[in-house]
Amino acid sequence: MGRGRVELKRIENKINRQVTFAKRRNGLLKKAYELSILCDAEVALIIFSNRGKLYEFCSTSSMLKTLERYQKCNYGAPEPNISAREALVSVSSDIKFSIDLCFLLYLEENK
């Protein structure tokens, strides 16, 4: 028997919200690791807490190389005069936009 559907809304209680974040973050990191092992996939996961703390997982030795590969696949070869840091910031903002868009589409489907 499956679990019931969780209503997606902000958890108002700060302690409960932090506990839920920690549990779901750990679950997401575990799933990323499992995906990389079971399917031999190159996986990169970046999570920022509401306090700005960074949590990350990369199945390869370099997160930057993985993000550069992502940028090359999505946007063609990077411009030669753009630094790696600038490229990373650009990719990060594009990823955030994609996540926001997916979340909005999800909310629309589940009205």
Cβ burial, residue 21 (10 Å; 0-12/13-18/19+)? middle
Structural domain of 46: 8-59
> Is residue 26 domain-resident?
yes
Residue 15 falls inside a structural domain: yes
CA distances from 18 to 26, 38, 45 (A): 12, 30, 19
Q: What is the chain's alpha carbon radius of gyration, rounded to the nearest angstrom?
A: 17
pLDDT of residue 107: 63
Q: For residue 106, what are the CA distances in angstroms to 62, 99, 103?
A: 31, 10, 5
- pLDDT tens-digit map of 71-111: 888 877 655 566 666 766 776 777 776 776 666 666 666 55
Q: Identify whether residues 13 and 50 lie together within a single domain.
A: yes
In a domain, 22, yes or no: yes
pLDDT in tens, 7-31: 899 999 999 999 999 999 999 999 9
Give the CATH number of the domain where residue 38 resides.
3.40.1810.10
Residue 105: predicted pLDDT = 64
